[in-house]
Amino acid sequence: MKKVLLLIFVLLMIATGCKKEDANNPPPTETEAQNPTEQQDNSIQGTVAEYFPIKENSLYIYTGSVESANQETYPIFIEGNKLQRRTSAGGFISTEVLSVENSEVKLIYTNATSNGFENFLNKANPAEVVILKEPLQLNATWERNFVSNDSTAGEFKGTSKITDVNVSVTTPAGEFETLVVTTEFETGNLDVEYYAKGIGLVKREYINITRTEKGQELSRETVTVELSEIKEDTACEFEFTVYYPDDQVNGLLSETRKFQLKTNEDIRPLLEGMLKKPSEGPSSPIITENTKINTISVDSEASEVHLDLSKEFVDEMNAGSGYEALIQESLKNIFTDFYRASSLKLTIEGEDYIPKH
């Protein structure tokens, strides 16, 4: 059950863990979520852009109920009112594309099989999910359906409602005045989100409720994620395995290396440098100094990476048949591992690569 909850909550954009009640801010009961007190201020609380700001080069670090639920979220691509963010939680990577326009924040694409560095800004899910919607005032309600488009496909139908507009929340990152959005799914489970102006999501609770066949509540399990830290003007750190031919042409050497990438930064120069300059040890370069990576694209349905290199890869290659074969194997291993694909299509200036030997 905990593994299922973790997967569902990641797909709902924040990773989860096991039960953890917040003594200062207990989750609302179903009655409280649907019938907030009349004494609360129901005035409009600003715009969705204020409560869901798009910030480049900003790493959001969240602390979960258990260590495996800790997560980091980073904006990989930003274009106008669109944001593609990469979330890493317990070894699981998820990608979401969101838009902030027409008084709404929408989740328009999700992917749980990508490494997060492919540009999905122009892709869309079968159905868009409204995360926030104006007017931001007490009792405002909208439908919220989540549809996944990948191997973890699932659909979660529910109704979202602004259940409070002035709630003080304390997390490891500090104290925030928040807007509270409670979503009740058709299953009866609850998703409670706390948004702070100028910051975004600072806390989230997913409440799984077990009932009898007659609907009587038996138990509830709450998983929580809280904002721990925001690192401004920083890069996304990641690692992957690199493969190099050894200098005796006997096989491949492998190692795990760390890299950094900022928002909207072109990944091609980083990969070119890695292919041209192996680490210390008995290994050889994979591409020549003047070779350029023209394009990298991924066909998710075919599970294939398409890598197009400049003509220098062929013109300047000085390798026997054994070394050339190892170079091809290195490229295949590196790019299929990194982009989570099964095969590599290698072309030179748009034409199929033909080995010299």
Query: Tens digit of pLDDT for each residue in 33-84?
Result: 444 444 445 666 689 999 999 999 999 999 988 776 789 999 999 999 999 9
Bridge partners (DSSP) of residue 230 are 60
Same topology, domains 2-231 and 236-352? Answer is no
Could you tell me if 166 and 176 are in contact, meaning their C-beta atoms sit under 8 angstroms apart?
A: no
- Ordered by start, the domain boundaries in the chain are 2-231, 236-352
Distance between CA atoms of residues 144 and 185, nearest Å: 9
Q: Which one is the CATH code of 2-231: 2.40.360, 1.10.260, 3.40.50, 3.40.1350?
A: 2.40.360
Amino acid at 112: A
C-alpha neighbours within 13 Å on the C-beta side of residue 20: 17
The rounded percent of the chain whose pLDDT value lies above 70 is: 81
Query: Could you give the angle at the alpha carbon of 10 between the alpha carbons of 268 and 111, nearest 5°?
Result: 40
Picking from 335, 287, 294, the residue whose alpha carbon sits closest to that of residue 315 is 287
Count of residues in the chain: 357
pLDDT (tens digit, 9 = 90+) per residue, 128-176? 899 999 999 999 999 987 665 554 445 678 999 999 999 999 999 999 9
Tokens 């997913």 belong to residue? 206
- pLDDT at position 211 is 82
CA 120 from chain centre, in angstroms, equals 11
Average pLDDT (14-20) is 33
Is a pLDDT exceeding 70 seen at residue 288?
yes
Phi, psi (5° rounding) for residue 322? Answer: -65, -45
Distance between CA atoms of residues 139 and 185, nearest Å: 17
- pLDDT at position 127 is 67
Distance between CA atoms of residues 54 and 62, nearest Å: 17
- Count of CB atoms situated within 10 Å of the CB of 326: 21
- pLDDT at position 219 is 86
Give SS3 for 196. strand
pLDDT (tens digit, 9 = 90+) per residue, 186-244? 888 899 999 999 999 999 998 888 888 877 888 888 889 999 999 999 999 998 888 98
Higher pLDDT, 126 or 276: 276
Tokens of 113: 């099989």
Which CATH number is associated with domain 236-352? 3.30.300
Distance between CA atoms of residues 335 and 348, nearest Å: 16
Give SS3 for 154. coil
Higher pLDDT, 186 or 88: 88
Contacts of 41 (CB under 8 A, 6+ apart): 138, 165, 166
Could you tell me if 179 and 136 are in contact, meaning their C-beta atoms sit under 8 angstroms apart?
A: yes
